[in-house]
Amino acid sequence: MWIDSHCHLDFFPDTIIKKTIKSARNSQISNIVIPSVSPENLTRVREIAVQDDTLSYALGFHPMYIDKINNSDLVKLSDSVRNNSPVAIGEIGIDLFIKKNNIDKQEHFLVSQLKLAIDYDLPVILHTRNAIDVVLKHLRRHKVRGGIAHAFNGSNQQAYQFIDLGFKLGFGGAMTYPRAKHIQKLAKELPIESIVLETDSPDMPPFWLEKDQKNQPKELEKIGIFLAQLRGLDPYKMAKTISKNTLEILPKIDKLYT
């Protein structure tokens, strides 16, 4: 069984969510983690997650939504964390790929949310696009209990800095492209104990999907088999190791179905 450690299931239309969960189950996906991104979807990720035992959720504000939020939203987030059972604080982080003019605000909200993770002793799910060193700087100052650097695409050295801080590295559809030699090298050579898998669906389609096909959690099985081939491992034995890694880093995931 495989665990999709990062899926924005709440971005899927209501009419296909049940079907999407069912086809994930049929493709050996035992658990799906749904991170929130903004104040607007804190409730929605929870409401979706409680519908099915195979789903878990994380609560947090994504750096690309930071322009719209303010400190009163942090109070709302903190209340929501206190009153519910998220498996992590996320998706949080820094994004310097799209916007660079609000870096101070992004850092302010990253730090506030790292402090929240420390207060509630929760792991974090990190977005670090073009901003790994900035995120690492804050992780050294604010010692959370670890988490996942999602869609990891940094250097080998940066990977080990995350590992030393108690983090796992998330790999998904991006590594399946023939030209993705750098990500493939990381996914092949980093210690297997440091790796978790994710679809990031509906984003990040794997190589084999046609333009009109939507990325969804069921693709994780093929992504996992791709990684196993890359590493020369038996996919089903590797799936057990990767699931163990995921449960180790997100221990609040419902273990019933793994």
Residue 127 Cβ vs Zn ion, minimum distance, rounded to whole Å: 6
Nearer to Zn ion, 7 or 81 (CB): 7
Distance, first Cα to last Cα, the chain: 6
CA distances from 225 to 102, 114, 175, 197 (A): 39, 34, 12, 11
Q: Which residues make Cβ contacts (< 8 Å) with residue 146, sequence separation at least 6?
A: 123, 124, 165, 166, 167, 168, 249
Cα gap 113→93, rounded to integer Å: 9
Q: Which residues make Cβ contacts (< 8 Å) with residue 29, sequence separation at least 6?
A: 1, 2, 3, 4, 54, 217, 218, 220, 221
Q: How many residues line the site for Zn ion (CB under 5 A)?
A: 1
Element (H, E) at 2: strand 2-4
Binding segment for Zn ion among 14-22, 68-76, 85-93, 244-252 (CB under 5 A)?
85-93
Binding segment for Zn ion among 20-28, 64-72, 89-97, 247-255 (CB under 5 A)?
89-97
Residue 204 Cβ vs Zn ion, minimum distance, rounded to whole Å: 9
Nearer to Zn ion, 114 or 238 (CB): 114
Binding segment for Zn ion among 71-79, 83-91, 161-169, 174-182 (CB under 5 A)?
83-91
Binding mask 110-149 for Zn ion (x = CB under 5 A): ----------------------------------------
Element (H, E) at 4: strand 2-4
Q: What is the CA radius of gyration of the chain?
A: 17
Nearer to Zn ion, 4 or 91 (CB): 91
Residue 238's SS3 state is helix
Residue 151 Cβ vs Zn ion, minimum distance, rounded to whole Å: 7
Residue 166 Cβ vs Zn ion, minimum distance, rounded to whole Å: 21
Nearer to Zn ion, 215 or 235 (CB): 215
Cα gap 61→95, rounded to integer Å: 12
Q: Which residue is nearest to Zn ion (CB)?
A: 91
Residue 200 Cβ vs Zn ion, minimum distance, rounded to whole Å: 5
The CB density around residue 101, as the number of other CB atoms within 10 Å, is 7
Residue 218 Cβ vs Zn ion, minimum distance, rounded to whole Å: 18
Binding segment for Zn ion among 22-30, 84-92, 215-223, 231-239 (CB under 5 A)?
84-92
Binding residues for Zn ion, rule: CB under 5 A, are: 91
